[in-house]
């Protein structure tokens, strides 16, 4: 059956080559111009142990990981048992399991799915002389049965193994061809989905963390300090290679206290700088974010949310750092909090973060989450364009004498940096006057607080972008943010295609709160459904901090993380919310 | 930038802000030494940055007419790290007290020594928390009665110079702020050192340690003998954990590549492989499928 979409799940142990299968399939699909979202999951072992890979391939732009797999490759049923809840075959799925596996399959897996025993080990041993080639055999089978791009995979295999140990490439090519031949022996399998597509321009395939790191280089960041933490370390890894290549530096600091301190130091010295972390690290950085706000030193922090509190679920997603991102810190301190919704927006949000931080001399936090930071996704290389704004330094007439914290109409005072002769200043985290001199008078504190907060107004006027999905007027309006936007969008599109009138709204700027845009949306829908991955419904409570959400008109779907939000989950909530509305209401 | 550097006097490094310190505070001597040492090296004020944390002594950057940053408690060296690594051509001095640098900021002290970060760290050591009004610090002698140790300090103290020596500082010295001339001399040498220079200035607190501390420091201070081998860590350690004397001078001094030297070398290595600086598009295209 020709299909414009295909989702593969591969499960095995360390050494089975599960990750390689996922890599080659997704690289081949990206090369053909198809859209791909790939996620990986591992057991708790540092090395070895069970691993799984989920690859969704589609002709259309896709917004989320698939909830059900069409094809499930199982090298070992025991390993599969550990991913049972996360990798579910659809009713019409095809399961290709290792024929020699003595373990029986766990009960209750897609009873209607077709199960085919595949002698992966035997084919690999016969064709390539080593059972290690069974993952490459798998690629051949996937090409043969489901039309996963065969030529591109062949090229990828050639690239991967050429120049390696003598005979390795030849052996793997034989394994690949043997897989294709084996698929032929199975003939046509019932309703097996076969990818049907027109080849397009190749796309890049990368993670949200990598997109964030590219954004840093693009924005002119030349200093990064960070401390390793899952799930954000890839930003540190990437920049440790690329920043020196553009003349910048990376310091892996002793802790997050030091990382943010160094960022503030470099920024004070006139160099665009950032750090990246996750919730526990952001907790340690909080005090220095206050310094950044008080001394008006630009600082950019990427925060990749994970399951919390405390150590929580380090490798899995959640949207529960919203309060922390916006409110953490002692005292009244203005800051900006942006949101990223997918890999591409990790790039744009990070460039915006630098632009805002530099233009307004303010700390900016980008809230991403594990679901988008660590998945790999195809993006057109043309989309990595974004205007860059630099800091305003004092003009000669502003240096006689220079007032670092001059109380201006928009609250922004020109910022000097070491090396500028006529604008030397001393700053501090104490309350200070327009010259930066410490003072503790109430009137001074009131005046300077107003100056710092005044900057939020132009920021809100300029940065209040949002996503608006669905019809202009709708029966139901969903409020969501971050990685939830993808599955919500797909579910909304499906609901509207089925005749419902559902809209959705996701802000790109969390703080300053884009109130007018929220209100416009609220007025365009009859009822509201809030969807978020936070057990305590932080997003719902956050919105209510700024505006009224009448309880009789609002439903909340807030659950804990550990699992990405899925399209069927959203669809179910939409169905429930609509069915709870009276018949008349829907007709009005 | 400074081909025709004008001659600076010590007074040129002075701001018009009046120090908040108590009359008789040892930190006045340190401040004077900062002015004179900078003048001795003729550092351009606009190319010099003084960074601090929180505490009495951490107010110092406000009194020095260079770029200055009085940050938050314990984090002076983290800010100094960012300034120096991002702008290696600047002169960077971090200052602060013993509580700031050894208690709340102790971890940063260890790692700045280890990295051989190319900054000078001047620790004004009065063996007490002054700004919070008289609590025990990591340098407060065991048994001393303070505001927070009613029955006497139950904890042993440590010697910051011993710590610096053991974790990789490449220049370690001890001064007594009552000897301004000696402090100026040591500070200028610390400033000129390439690598992490740690100057522990014994700087009495007249308010919380009384006149006795000043008198004791003065009585115990004596110069390190000319015969001392400054390149020997073992020999340097002999001048730490002293009780009846307080040896002042350079304990240790070696020339090894600083963090800046290493990062500079890495940048050169990274760039040697490329014919031009990569653009955003070049970086993005490195993510095209590898076929």
Q: Confidence class of residue A108 from pLDDT cuts 50, 70 and 90?
A: confident
Interface test with A, best of B13, B96, B287 (most A CBs within 10 A): B287
pLDDT at A97 over 60: yes
CA distance A160 to B291: 8
User: Tens of pLDDT along B178-227?
Assistant: 999 999 999 999 999 999 999 999 999 999 999 999 999 999 999 999 99
Using a CB-CB cut-off of 8 Å, the residues of chain A touching B85 are 223, 249, 251, 262, 266
- Candidates A563, A571, A45, A580; CA nearest to A316 is A563
Using a CB-CB cut-off of 8 Å, the residues of chain B touching A245 are 270-271, 274, 277-278
Task: Give the gap in angstroms from C-alpha B4 to the nearest C-alpha of chain A.
Answer: 13
Q: How far is CA A19 from CA A10, A151, B164, in A?
A: 8, 20, 46
**Across A278-429, where does the E strand assignment appear?**
299-305, 336-339, 363-369, 376-379, 426-428
User: Tens of pLDDT along B107-145?
Assistant: 999 999 999 999 999 999 999 999 999 999 999 999 999
Q: Which residue of B has its CA nearest to A271?
A: B86
Lowest mean pLDDT among A238-247, A575-584, B191-200: A575-584
- The answer to whether B81 contacts A437, with C-beta atoms less than 8 Å apart, is no
CA distance A269 to A267: 5
- The answer to whether B271 contacts A425, with C-beta atoms less than 8 Å apart, is no
Q: Which residue has the higher pLDDT, A160 or A66?
A: A160
Q: Quote the percentage of chain B above a pLDDT of 70.
A: 98
- The answer to whether A262 contacts B87, with C-beta atoms less than 8 Å apart, is no
Task: Give the gap in angstroms from C-alpha B126 to the nearest C-alpha of chain A.
Answer: 23
Q: Confidence class of residue B291 from pLDDT cuts 50, 70 and 90?
A: confident
Using a CB-CB cut-off of 8 Å, the residues of chain B touching A251 are 81, 85
Q: Work out the end-to-end distance of chain A between its first and last CA atoms, rounded to an integer number of angstroms.
A: 41
Q: Which residue has the higher pLDDT, A242 or B7?
A: A242
- By Cβ distance, the residue of A202, A257, A419 closest to B78 is A257
CA distance B191 to B213: 27
Q: Confidence class of residue A47 from pLDDT cuts 50, 70 and 90?
A: confident
Q: HEC states along A297-335? A: CCEEEEEEECECCCCCECCCCCCCCHHHHHHCCCCCCCC
- The answer to whether B78 contacts A204, with C-beta atoms less than 8 Å apart, is no
Count of pairs with CB atoms under 8 A, one residue in A, one in B? 205
Using a CB-CB cut-off of 8 Å, the residues of chain B touching A254 are 107-108, 110-111
- By Cβ distance, the residue of A217, A427, A430 closest to B68 is A427
Q: Quote the percentage of chain A above a pLDDT of 70.
A: 99
Using a CB-CB cut-off of 8 Å, the residues of chain A touching B21 are none
Q: HEC states along chain B? A: CCCCCCCCCHHHHECCCCCCCCCCCCHHHHHHHHHHHHHHHCCCHHHEEEEECCCCHHHHHHHECCEEEECCCCCHHHHHHHHHHHCCCCEEEEEEEHHHHHHHCHHHHHHHHHHCCCCEEEEEECCCECCCCCECCCCCCCCCCECCECCCCCCCCCCHHHHHHHCCCCEEEEEECCCHHHHHHHHHHHHHCCCCEEEEEECCCCCCCHHHHHHHHHHHEEECCCCCCCCCHHHHHCCCCCCCCEEEEEEEECCCCCHHHHHHHHHHHHHHCCCCCCCHHHHHHCCCCCC
- The answer to whether A27 contacts B291, with C-beta atoms less than 8 Å apart, is yes
pLDDT at A588 over 60: no
Q: How far is CA A7 from CA A194, B115, B200, B262, in A?
A: 11, 48, 64, 47
What is the 8-class DSSP label of residue A14?
T
CA distance A205 to A37: 9
Q: Which residue of B has its CA nearest to A256?
A: B78
Q: Quote the percentage of chain A above a pLDDT of 90.
A: 90
- By Cβ distance, the residue of A204, A222, A384 closest to B86 is A222
Q: Confidence class of residue B86 from pLDDT cuts 50, 70 and 90?
A: very high
- The answer to whether B277 contacts A288, with C-beta atoms less than 8 Å apart, is no
pLDDT of residue A404: 98
Average pLDDT score over residue span B82-86: 98
- The answer to whether B277 contacts A246, with C-beta atoms less than 8 Å apart, is yes
ipTM of the complex, rounded to two decimals: 0.97
Q: Which residue of A has its CA nearest to B272?
A: A245
User: Tens of pLDDT along A352-404?
Assistant: 999 999 999 999 999 999 999 999 999 999 999 999 999 999 999 999 899 99
Task: Give the gap in angstroms from C-alpha A224 to the nearest C-alpha of chain B.
Answer: 9
pLDDT of residue A586: 57
Mean of all residue pLDDT scores within chain A: 95
- The answer to whether A242 contacts B266, with C-beta atoms less than 8 Å apart, is no
User: Tens of pLDDT along B41-69?
Assistant: 999 999 999 999 999 999 999 999 999 99
Using a CB-CB cut-off of 8 Å, the residues of chain B touching A263 are 82
CA distance B76 to A502: 54
pTM of the model: 0.96
User: Tens of pLDDT along A471-521?
Assistant: 999 999 999 999 999 999 999 999 999 999 999 999 999 999 999 999 999
- The answer to whether A424 contacts B72, with C-beta atoms less than 8 Å apart, is no
- Specify the DSSP element, H or E, that contains A2: strand A2-3
User: Tens of pLDDT along A296-339?
Assistant: 999 999 999 999 999 999 999 999 999 999 999 999 999 999 99
List, in sequence order, the alpha helices (H) in A411-484. Answer: 442-454, 456-462
Average pLDDT score over residue span A549-567: 94
Q: Confidence class of residue A587 from pLDDT cuts 50, 70 and 90?
A: low
- By Cβ distance, the residue of B46, B83, B288 closest to A265 is B83
- By Cβ distance, the residue of A155, A225, A438 closest to B62 is A438
Determine contact, residues A537/A558, Cβ cutoff 8 Å. yes
Using a CB-CB cut-off of 8 Å, the residues of chain A touching B267 are 244, 247, 249
Task: Give the gap in angstroms from C-alpha B267 to the nearest C-alpha of chain A.
Answer: 5
What are the beta bridge partners of residue B198? B121, B172
Interface test with B, best of A262, A376, A429 (most B CBs within 10 A): A262
Q: Which residue has the higher pLDDT, B164 or A111?
A: B164
Determine contact, residues A404/A427, Cβ cutoff 8 Å. yes
- The answer to whether B111 contacts A288, with C-beta atoms less than 8 Å apart, is no
- By Cβ distance, the residue of A152, A214, A419 closest to B283 is A214
Using a CB-CB cut-off of 8 Å, the residues of chain B touching A253 are 78, 81, 111
- By Cβ distance, the residue of B61, B274, B291 closest to A245 is B274
């Amino acid at each position: 059956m020709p299909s414009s979409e295909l989702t593969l799940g591969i499960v095995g142990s360390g050494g089975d080559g599960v990750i390689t299968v996922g890599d080659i399939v997704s690289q081949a699909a990206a090369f053909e111009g198809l859209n791909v979202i790939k996620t990986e999951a591992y057991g708790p072992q540092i090395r070895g142990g069970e691993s799984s890979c989920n690859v969704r391939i589609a002709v259309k732009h896709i917004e989320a990981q698939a909830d059900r797999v069409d094809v499930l490759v199982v090298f070992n049923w025991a390993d599969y048992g550990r991913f049972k809840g996360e990798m579910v075959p659809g009713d019409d799925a095809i399961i290709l399991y290792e024929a020699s596996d003595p373990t029986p399959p766990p009960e209750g897996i897609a009873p209607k799915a077709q199960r085919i025993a595949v002698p992966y080990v035997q084919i690999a041993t016969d064709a390539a002389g080593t059972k290690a080639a069974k993952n490459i055999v798998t690629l051949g089978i996937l090409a043969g049965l489901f039309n996963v791009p065969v030529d591109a995979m062949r090229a990828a295999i050639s690239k991967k193994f050429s120049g390696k140990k003598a005979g390795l490439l030849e052996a793997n090519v034989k394994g690949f061809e043997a897989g294709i031949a084996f698929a032929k022996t199975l003939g046509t399998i019932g309703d097996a989905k076969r990818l049907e597509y027109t080849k397009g321009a190749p796309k890049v395939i990368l993670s949200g963390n990598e997109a964030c790191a590219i954004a840093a280089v693009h924005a002119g960041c030349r200093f990064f300090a960070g401390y390793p933490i899952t799930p954000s370390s890839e930003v540190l890894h990437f920049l440790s290679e690329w920043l020196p290549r553009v003349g910048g530096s990376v310091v892996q600091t002793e802790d997050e206290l030091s990382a943010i301190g160094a960022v503030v130091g470099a920024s004070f010295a006139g160099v665009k700088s950032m750090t990246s972390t996750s919730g526990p690290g952001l907790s340690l950085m909080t005090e220095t974010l206050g310094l950044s706000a008080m001394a008006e030193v630009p600082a950019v922090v990427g925060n990749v949310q994970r399951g919390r509190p405390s150590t929580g679920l380090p490798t899995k997603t959640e949207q529960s750092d919203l309060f922390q991102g916006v409110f953490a810190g002692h005292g009244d301190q203005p800051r900006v909090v942006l949101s990223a919704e997918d890999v591409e927006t990790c790039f744009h949000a990070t460039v915006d973060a630098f632009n805002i931080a530099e233009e307004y001399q303010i700390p900016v936090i980008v809230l991403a989450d594990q679901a988008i930071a660590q998945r790999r996704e195809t993006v057109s290389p043309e989309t990595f364009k974004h205007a860059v704004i630099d800091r305003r330094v004092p003009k000669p007439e502003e240096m006689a004498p220079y007032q670092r914290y001059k109380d201006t109409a928009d609250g922004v005072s020109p910022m000097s940096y070491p090396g500028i002769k006529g604008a030397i200043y001393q700053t501090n985290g104490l309350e200070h006057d327009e010259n930066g001199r410490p003072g503790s008078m109430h009137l001074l504190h009131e005046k300077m607080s107003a100056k710092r907060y005044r900057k939020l107004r132009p920021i809100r006027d300029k940065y209040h972008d949002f996503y608006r999905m669905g019809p202009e007027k709708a029966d139901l309006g969903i409020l969501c943010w971050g990685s939830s936007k993808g599955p919500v969008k797909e579910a909304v599109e499906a609901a509207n295609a089925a005749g419902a009138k559902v809209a959705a709204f996701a802000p790109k700027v969390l703080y300053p709160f884009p109130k007018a845009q929220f209100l416009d949306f609220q007025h365009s829908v009859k009822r509201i459904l809030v969807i978020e991955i936070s057990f305590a419904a932080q997003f719902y409570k956050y919105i209510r901090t700024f505006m009224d959400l009448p309880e009789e008109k609002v439903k909340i779907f807030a659950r804990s993380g550990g699992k990405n939000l899925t399209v069927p989950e959203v669809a179910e909530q939409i169905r429930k919310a609509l069915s709870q509305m009276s018949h008349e209401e829907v007709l009005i | 930038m400074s081909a025709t550097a004008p001659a600076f006097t010590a007074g040129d490094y002075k701001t018009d802000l009046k120090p908040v310190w108590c009359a008789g505070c040892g930190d006045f001597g340190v401040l004077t030494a900062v002015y004179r040492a900078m003048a001795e090296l003729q550092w351009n004020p606009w190319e010099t940055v003084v960074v601090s944390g929180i505490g009495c002594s951490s107010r110092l950057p406000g009194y020095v007419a260079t770029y200055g940053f009085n940050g938050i408690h314990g984090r002076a060296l983290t800010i100094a790290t960012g300034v120096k690594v991002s702008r290696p051509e600047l002169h960077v001095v971090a200052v602060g007290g013993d509580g700031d640098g050894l208690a709340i900021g102790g971890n940063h002290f260890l790692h700045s020594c280890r990295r051989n970060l190319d900054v000078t760290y001047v620790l004004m050591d009065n063996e007490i928390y002054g700004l919070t009004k008289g609590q025990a610090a990591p340098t407060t002698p065991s048994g001393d009665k303070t505001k927070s140790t009613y029955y006497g300090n139950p904890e042993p103290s440590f010697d910051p110079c011993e710590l610096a020596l053991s974790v990789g500082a490449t220049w370690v010295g001890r001064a007594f702020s009552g000897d301004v001339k000696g402090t100026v001399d040591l500070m200028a040498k610390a400033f000129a050192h390439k690598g992490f220079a740690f100057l522990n200035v014994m700087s009495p607190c007249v308010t919380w340690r009384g006149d006795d501390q000043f008198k004791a420091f003065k009585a115990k201070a004596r110069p390190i003998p000319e015969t001392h081998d400054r390149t020997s860590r073992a020999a340097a350690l002999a001048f730490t954990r002293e009780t009846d004397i307080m040896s002042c001078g350079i304990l240790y001094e070696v020339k090894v590549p600083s963090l800046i030297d290493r990062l500079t070398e890495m940048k050169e290595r990274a760039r040697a492989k490329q014919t031009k600086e990569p653009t955003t598009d070049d970086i993005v295209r490195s993510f095209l499928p590898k076929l």
